[in-house]
């Protein structure tokens, strides 16, 4: 009996360790979600990360919800087949269009998304119940952040501003030059010296502008909510609560559905580190 008990305990331990050492799956429609990967690397340095960028079908923002949902579920299946222990939806459009379906497909694998994490942090910081969101036209028009915030606290006033030029500026590396500063001034002038106390960066490209935005607003009472940092914090809490945290990882694997020109250059700019292996897969 004792030997059977020991064998059973070893089997249980092996299963636990296998889950703990499994990678975190992160996906986005393209390259922007690498800011989430970077935040997770910094917050959870012992975790292995598997990133998927749907570079063949980007952008998602101009496509129907049904199409985005189809793409997101194909990527979810890919990540599950790779044995991930958690899925982070690093795509605002994907979060708004397919979160419920992704959760259903994932089963016992926990699923987190940037919209929920960013909204939760913004509401936790607000003192005057006034929150602002900047994002792409698609994200702003979807009203996904506003809905998520009001599910948490219906009394919060929500302002939204589409900032479409931030994405191409980020991909050019123009995040703190004269053009970027002028663009920030034009987009965010309505928030300067206002009563908002939380500003959500509602696009995964936007964290690259965080220092310049903080410099422009120059208001210590406004919390700049980086959804990448928010979801990394939430992921750490979730892994700890489910006994899934890794203590010996730190590897990064990058998968894309196509490798457009300059992808590696842009990816390394977003991550702030060299990427040695980018694998192209067909879903």
Of the candidates 26, 167, 203, 256, the residue annotated as catalytic is 203
Nearest partner of 55 among 23, 18, 30, 27, judged by Cα: 30
Residue with tokens 């060299």: 274
- Retrieve residue 245's tokens: 């945290």
**Which pair of tokens denotes residue 107?**
């089963």
Which one is catalytic: 91, 112, 158, 232?
Answer: 91
Q: Are 114 and 124 in contact (CB under 8 A)?
A: no
Burial classification of residue 165, based on how many CB atoms lie within 10 Å of its CB (0-12 exposed, 13-18 middle, 19 or more buried): middle
Running DSSP on this structure, what letter comes out for residue 87?
E
What is the rounded CA–CA span in Å between residue 52 and residue 50?
A: 7
> What whole-number distance in Å separates Cα of residue 53 and Cα of residue 117?
20
Q: Is 91 a catalytic residue?
A: yes
Under DSSP, the state recorded for 208 is G
Q: How many CB atoms lie within 10 A of CB 103?
A: 17
Q: Retrieve residue 202's tokens.
A: 């509602």
End-to-end CA separation in angstroms for the chain: 48
So which residues are the catalytic ones?
A: 91, 203
């Amino acid at each position: 009996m004792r030997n059977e008990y020991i064998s059973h305990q070893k089997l249980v331990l092996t299963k636990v360790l296998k889950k703990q050492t499994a990678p975190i799956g992160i996906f986005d429609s393209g390259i922007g979600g690498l800011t989430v990967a970077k935040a997770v690397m910094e917050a959870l340095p012992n975790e292995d990360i598997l990133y998927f960028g749907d570079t063949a079908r980007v952008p998602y923002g101009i496509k129907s919800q049904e199409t985005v949902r189809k793409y997101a579920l194909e990527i979810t299946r890919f990540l599950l087949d790779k044995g991930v222990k958690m899925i982070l939806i690093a795509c605002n459009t994907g979060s708004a269009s397919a979160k419920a379906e992704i959760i259903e497909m994932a089963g016992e694998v926990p699923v987190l998304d940037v919209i929920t994490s960013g909204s939760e942090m913004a509401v936790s910081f607000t003192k005057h119940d006034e929150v602002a969101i900047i994002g792409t036209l698609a994200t702003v028009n979807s009203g996904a952040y506003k809905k998520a915030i009001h599910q948490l606290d219906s009394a919060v006033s929500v302002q939204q501003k589409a900032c479409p030029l931030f994405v191409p500026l980020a991909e050019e590396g123009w995040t703190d030059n004269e053009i970027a500063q002028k663009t920030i001034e034009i987009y965010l002038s309505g928030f300067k010296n206002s009563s908002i106390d939380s500003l959500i960066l509602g696009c995964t490209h936007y964290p690259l502008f965080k220092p310049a935005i903080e410099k422009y607003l120059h208001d210590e009472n406004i919390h700049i909510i980086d959804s990448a940092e928010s979801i990394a914090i939430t992921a750490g809490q979730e892994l700890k609560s489910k006994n899934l945290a890794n203590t010996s990882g730190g590897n990064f694997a990058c998968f894309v559905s196509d490798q457009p020109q300059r992808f590696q250059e842009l990816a390394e700019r977003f991550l702030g580190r060299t990427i040695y292996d980018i694998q192209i897969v067909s879903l």
